[in-house]
Amino acid sequence: MEDKKIDIHDIIEKHSQRLQRDLDYFNNIKKSSYSKSYESFKKEISPEPSNYEKWCISLGQIIKLKISKKEEEEIQKKLDIAHLDIEPWHTVTLAFISFLLIFFLGLIFCFAVSYLTNTSFPFGLFIMICIVGVFSYSFLKNYPDRIANKWRLKASSQMVPAILYVVIYMRHTSNLEKAISFASEHLEYPLNLDFKKIFYDVEIGKFSTIKESLDNYLSIWRDYSPQFIESFNLIESSLFEPNEEKRIDILEKSLQVVLDGTYDKMLKFTHEVRSPLTNVYMLGVILPTLAIALLPMANILLQNQLKTSHVFVLFNLIVPFLVFYLTDKILFLRPGGHGEISLLEKNPKYYLYKSRKPIVKAFLISFPFILLGLIPLIFQYTPLPLWFNLQRDYTFSQLGLPLFGEDTYFFGITEVDGIIKGPYGIGAMILSIFFIFGIALFFYISFKGKTSELKKEREKTKELEIEFNNSLFQLGNKLGNGTPLEIAFGKVAEDTKGLRTEDFFKKTNYNITQMGMSVEQALFDNKRGVLIYYPSSLVSTSMKILVESSKKGSTIAALSLVNLSQYVKNFYKITDRLKDLLSEIVSDMKSNMTFLAPILSGIIVGLSMMMSSILSYISTISNNFSDVSSSQFGNIGSILKMFEGTDTIAPYFLQIIVGIYLIEIVFILTKTLVVIDSGEDKLDQIYLTGMNLKKAIFFYSIIAIISSIALSFLSSFVLSGLIQ
């Protein structure tokens, strides 16, 4: 009898200790994760004010503009979503002051130009400055909307994982508060901060219950992602379902609702976005590129009024801005729910991204090419050639290349009335390609150096997660068959030989068997924990669920892992289907950007070089017959007089303008395609920009050189015969 009492006492003591550990764990979770003080929460949500916030607050102390109640509510809603700590009137004040500043500075500048050049007031320039001021007002006023949209894109890409974490937790513990807390711990920025703010609003007394705070938070997604709200409504309703089987069905339905809703919205988006993207490509890439070929002829018709500066402003400032504006409108159409969920700052190789070494390396490699492209200008405008007893220009016959014309100059530098003009020669034009090549090479090397290792690390993590999902199923089966958790890791390690996950289970088993650690310590210990070497949210979350559910028994732990494996499998299936939907659009635009557009631009540069050569020959003919009466030649004489003194835009500068324009287009369209495919993903954006620049500029340089040489040689051969 005494032995029996002792046994009962031991059992009570054992369970009391276990209960105390669980309570201690719960209290620690509550203290550390459920909420934050005001200062720490604000520091986490926004480490320091952005430049936009600083400008708004600074100018807001000087002047305060009144706005309507309706406009104030609309702006405040955007500020709340963007998590900007400013007042609605701050944004209007900054926008208005920026417009006034640009207007008056532009007015003073135009009067100064008129006074210094002794010409009339440049109304065209002033109107352009006013347009810039209007754009500045519109851009700064709507800037919170842009930030809010970026926040929504990044946060909405984590909606499916958010519902997944809540459902997984509530399968074994029907507690909404702890489920949201669990999700906030394992989600990435920024949705994790939104979930933490739900607790923060309760703590400061804004709402009395978690449900009220959650419902208030969900209201911001009402117009943007209704399936997210519907999923949480189902999760809330599961709390009041007494039947366990029906409760699980409701939770699974909530996950299916957000998956189906995301798929349907992305399917609709793929149909809507195709036409706008085609319009952007035609209006922003094809038509401007074709227009460049007509510039030499247009300059003749405009009596040499078209200057290089005009072409630069048009093709390197105005047209890229229009392309950016059109693509920005397209990005606002993108629904949430799908995208890259990993955070750049948590990548193990993040230090490479912050390093300046790739930039220095890129500069040292690309600078010689840029300098090579500037040689025509150095020979034309600096005394450097004279210091080395060199001519400012050489004929092709002097260089041993009479094939391009014995009297044709390599740089094509001319001097009219003491004014140096050009360079018009094909040699200068070819050298200018090295200038564009050097700029593209700089971005490619620096971007690749910053992101290539991070990209590889991300791909390794994704491969690990796919394999790990299958291993979870095996681990769940081992536990379901009665294998103790401490032994199951070793058995799964044997079953996963040759896979990436083998090392994970081996290390965990080593910590348990050789280091004498508990399962929780073997996984989460700050110094020896296996998860230190596997920075994956899926792996971390899975093991957290395993540790939590194992406290309720091996059967519950086995069910949790098997269900988690099935959920993740469905998630990947939907993700693959969404990628298939977007792949056609993305691949079409990518081929247009990196292959067709560079080839077309290269051919256009060659045509421009040929037209410049033709116009130069016609100008020579016109000057030869300038002393002859036009009546002797009829209409032909009148036509030839149009070409007298023709000052065409130098092909050297024209090629540089086209090359810079192509680089700008690659930057803009790459960002657009990344957002369409993956949402807000800085790593992919920088990495793919470098890769696309390499392909685009390589094709462009080769085609531009070949077409320029071939067409210039052809025009030189034909027209030289005509002149003779």
CATH number, position 545: 1.20.81
| Same domain assignment for residues 452 and 473 | no
Angle ∠(367,371,397) on CA atoms, nearest 5 = 145
414: helix, strand or coil:
strand
pLDDT in tens, 232-279: 999 999 988 888 889 989 988 888 888 888 888 888 888 888 888 888
Whole-prediction pTM: 0.80
CA distances 12 to 19, 26, 92, 310, 551, Å, are 10, 21, 67, 88, 17
Task: Quote the pLDDT of residue 64.
Answer: 80
Q: Is-contact 183 166, C-beta < 8 A?
A: yes
Q: Is-contact 170 251, C-beta < 8 A?
A: yes
Phi-psi region at 303: left, alpha or beta (left = phi > 0; alpha = psi -120 to 50): left
Q: How many Å apart are CA 414 and CA 122, to the nearest integer?
A: 30
| Same domain assignment for residues 308 and 446 | yes
Residue 37's CB is within 10 A of a number of other CB atoms, namely 11
284: helix, strand or coil:
helix
Per the structure, the complete domain to which residue 128 belongs is given by 44-141
Task: Quote the pLDDT of residue 483.
Answer: 85
CA distances 264 to 270, 317, 554, Å, are 10, 38, 38
Q: Which of 121, 184, 131 is nearest to 158 (CA)?
A: 184
Helix (H) or strand (E) holding 415: strand 414-416
| Same domain assignment for residues 387 and 302 | yes
* Within-domain flag for 584: no
468: helix, strand or coil:
helix
Task: Quote the pLDDT of residue 340.
Answer: 58
* Within-domain flag for 654: yes
Partners of 421 in the β-ladder: 414
Q: Which of 392, 397, 422 is nearest to 407 (CA)?
A: 397
Q: Is-contact 565 472, C-beta < 8 A?
A: yes
| Same domain assignment for residues 292 and 370 | yes
| Same domain assignment for residues 561 and 437 | no
Structural tokens at position 67: 């706005």
| Same domain assignment for residues 446 and 549 | no
Domain boundary among 141, 163, 189: 141
The amino acid at residue 487 is: I
| Same domain assignment for residues 287 and 388 | yes
| Same domain assignment for residues 125 and 54 | yes
* Within-domain flag for 652: yes
Q: Is-contact 528 517, C-beta < 8 A?
A: yes
* Within-domain flag for 590: no
Alpha helices in 592-642 (DSSP H): 597-624, 635-641
Structural tokens at position 660: 């810079």
Angle ∠(142,146,152) on CA atoms, nearest 5 = 140
Angle ∠(140,145,150) on CA atoms, nearest 5 = 115
Q: How many Å apart are CA 467 and CA 492, to the nearest integer?
A: 12
Provide DSSP, 170-235: HHH---HHHHHHHHHHHSPTTHHHHHHHHHHHHHTTS-SSHHHHHHHHHGGGTTT-HHHHHHHHHH
Helix (H) or strand (E) holding 416: strand 414-416
Q: How many Å apart are CA 338 and CA 260, to the nearest integer?
A: 11
Torsion angle (degrees, nearest 10) of CA 506, 508, 513, 514: 80
Structural tokens at position 582: 């977007």
CB-side neighbour CA atoms (13 Å) of 278: 8
Q: Which of 691, 683, 189 is nearest to 455 (CA)?
A: 683
Q: Which of 466, 467, 446, 464 is nearest to 456 (CA)?
A: 464
| Same domain assignment for residues 137 and 204 | no
Helix crossing, 176-186 with 159-172: angle to 10°? 140
> Locate tokens 């892992």: which residue?
561
| Same domain assignment for residues 245 and 287 | no
Q: How many Å apart are CA 359 and CA 356, to the nearest integer?
A: 5
Residue 390's CB is within 10 A of a number of other CB atoms, namely 11
489: helix, strand or coil:
helix
Partners of 420 in the β-ladder: 415
Give the chain's largest Cα–Cα span: 138
Residues of the chain with pLDDT under 50: 1-6, 8-9, 11-12, 14-16, 19, 23, 25-38, 629-631, 633, 645
Measured over the CA atoms of residue 282, residue 283, residue 288 and residue 293, the dihedral's sign is: positive
| Same domain assignment for residues 122 and 166 | no
Structural tokens at position 283: 């209006």
Provide DSSP, 286-304: IHHHHHHHTHHHHHHHTTT
Q: What's the distance, Cα to Cα, between the start and end of the chain in Å?
A: 129
* Within-domain flag for 713: no
* Within-domain flag for 592: no
> Locate tokens 């009570």: which residue?
12
Number of domains the chain is built from:
5
Q: How many Å apart are CA 608 and CA 559, to the nearest integer?
A: 70
Structural tokens at position 584: 């056609």
Task: Quote the pLDDT of residue 108.
Answer: 92
The amino acid at residue 549 is: S
Domain boundary among 202, 231, 266: 266
Q: How many Å apart are CA 78 and CA 475, to the nearest integer?
A: 46
* Within-domain flag for 534: yes
* Within-domain flag for 707: no
| Same domain assignment for residues 258 and 331 | no
452: helix, strand or coil:
helix
Q: How many Å apart are CA 256 and CA 253, to the nearest integer?
A: 5
Residue 423 phi, psi (nearest 5): -80, 135
Structural tokens at position 219: 């209201």
